Amino acid sequence: MTSMTHCRLRSRATATGVLALATALTLAACATTGDTTPTGSTAGPGSSQPGAANGADPGVVALLPPAVKDKGVLAIGMEAQYPPFEFYDTDNKTVIGFDADVASSLAKLMGLKLEIHDAAFDSIIPSLASGRYDLGISGFTVTAERAKQVNFVTYYYEGDGLMVKAGNPGNLTIGDSLCGVRIAVLKGSTQALKSVPALDKVCTSAGKPAIAATVVPGSNDLGLSLQSGRVQAVLTDGSNAGYTAKLSGGKFEVATGQPYNPAPFGIASPKDNDLDKAVQKALEVMISNGTYASTLKKWNMEAGAVQAPKINEISG
């Protein structure tokens, strides 16, 4: 595996999730993101967490594919640049966030040690198909195209949000006000693959220019593009837009308006091993015992709560 380099002086977040965004944006270019060895988890350095002796659920364990159960490790791919879903704590080693906490709870209920692998967002689904990871948890919108490659279990609902500079100088909202506007979207995201093409149709049908979309390789590049003036707005998941704006020191805000194209987020697993059934059962246990609700509350994400985790709940 290739390694991931970090500038040791880079500030990503405090233990409570408070990010000095100005510093992070200035120094974020020091990180080289790619498929990596385990870099940390909510269990601390080493990406491991105690297993069966500390809360494994027999019903969940019974549904584990033998190959996953026998190796005793749950390897999860996620792009650790995407607060509040996943990002690095101040030690630059430990991955924290909503997805990291969900991953930790899943591993515990499965009686497995957790490994979190920081990876480029658009590499995670192919890596599941190749067997590199057991699960992908990285804010994946469940789409028909993605569901052809992997299985999904819904664990959150989310829509797009628009992040702009403070004061929203262009008076932008998600709609025809974006026609001809320079916006940044993440490579491989539903914003790049679905939202921008849908909005472009609105623009061109009204005789207006299409959106001038800049596709960036990593989530850190979204804020950097806006800060530098390369783009006028960032189209990303609403929770990410809100969290980043909140921690920007007043530099950014979220444009007014309802979330665009709300859809289910899914935990991804390979097509050929039925691990999705164990994930679904584990999420049901988390909902029942209150772990899921407390994790949502911790990250101020209660608005996207699911009542029942569904398998391959396709959006659009």
- How confident is the model over 241-284, as pLDDT tens digits? 999 999 999 999 999 998 898 999 999 999 989 999 999 999 99
pLDDT tens-digit readout, 5-26: 222 222 223 333 334 343 343 3
**pLDDT, the chain, mean:** 86
Looking at residue 316, its pLDDT comes to 60
Q: How far apart are CA 41 and CA 76, in angstroms?
A: 10
Do residues 241 and 183 make contact, with C-beta atoms less than 8 angstroms apart?
no
pLDDT of residue 42: 41
Q: How far apart are CA 8 and CA 53, in angstroms?
A: 35
Report in angstroms the alpha-carbon separations of 289 from 55, 57, 101, 153: 12, 12, 15, 19
According to the model, what pLDDT value does residue 198 have?
A: 96
**Length of the chain (residues):** 316
Which is higher by pLDDT, 259 or 78?
78
Query: What is the rounded average pLDDT of the residues 101-128?
Result: 97
Question: How far is it, in rounded angstroms, from Cα 285 to Cα 288?
Answer: 5
Instruction: Find the Cα–Cα–Cα–Cα dihedral 31, 33, 37, 43, rounded to 10°.
Output: 70
Chain-centre distance for alpha carbon 178:
24
**pLDDT surpassing 70 at residue 37:** no
pLDDT tens digits along 211-235? 999 999 999 899 999 999 999 999 9
> Can you give the three-state secondary structure of the chain, one letter per residue?
CCCCCCCCCCCCCCCCCCCCHHHHHHHHHHCCCCCCCECCCCCCCCCCCCCHHHCCCHHHHCCCCHHHHHHCEEEEEECCEECCCEEECCCCCCEECHHHHHHHHHHHHHCCEEEEEECCHHHHHHHHHCCCCCEEEEEEECCHHHHCCEEEEEEEEEEEEEEEECCCCCCCCCCHHHCCCEEEEECCCHHHHHHHHHHHHHHHHCCCCCCEEEEECCCHHHHHHHHHCCCCEEEEEHHHHHHHHHCCCCCEEECCCCCEEEEEEEEEEECCCCHHHHHHHHHHHHHHHCHHHHHHHHCCCHHHCCCCCCECCCCC
Q: Is residue 222 within 8 Å of residue 241, measured between CB atoms?
A: no
8 A C-beta contact, residue 30 and residue 115: no
- The two structure tokens encoding residue 215: 């596709």
Task: Read off the pTM.
Answer: 0.78
- Domains along the chain? 21-158+262-304 (3.40.190.10), 160-260 (3.40.190.10)
Work out the percent of the chain whose per-residue pLDDT is above 90. Answer: 79
